Amino acid sequence: NLRPEIPRCCPNSLANIMKKCWDANPEKRPDMDEVVRMLESLDTSKGGGMIPDDEANGCFCFVPQRGP
């Protein structure tokens, strides 16, 4: 029943989806289709990203992927 800590820089809308997926009662967890719908409905129009650049600094959730 351990869950990772949600970083303070994580947008509330995304954190809420994570919490729903981690519900202690499996019957209350959304199925994958619902998760996809929730993710697709997130408003990323502000600057094209989940959080402003000045808030993203130091947040490991939004570090660009490295590698090939």
pLDDT digits (tens, 9 = 90+) for 37-62: 999 988 766 545 566 566 666 665 65
Answer whether residue 62 is part of any domain: no
Answer whether residue 6 is part of any domain: yes
Answer whether residue 3 is part of any domain: yes
Q: What's the distance, CA 6 to chain centroid?
A: 9
Answer whether residue 26 is part of any domain: yes
**Residue of 20, 24, 22, 10 whose CA lies nearest to 58:** 10
Answer whether residue 68 is part of any domain: no
Task: Outline where 1-68 has alpha helix (H).
Answer: 12-21, 32-40, 53-56
Contacts of 61 (CB under 8 A, 6+ apart): 7, 9, 10
Read off the pTM: 0.68
Answer whether residue 66 is part of any domain: no
Domain boundaries, position 7 = 1-45
- Count of domains for the chain: 1
Instruction: Look at residue 68 and tell me whether its pLDDT is greater than 80.
Output: no
Rounded CA gap, 53 and 32, in Å? 29
Answer whether residue 64 is part of any domain: no
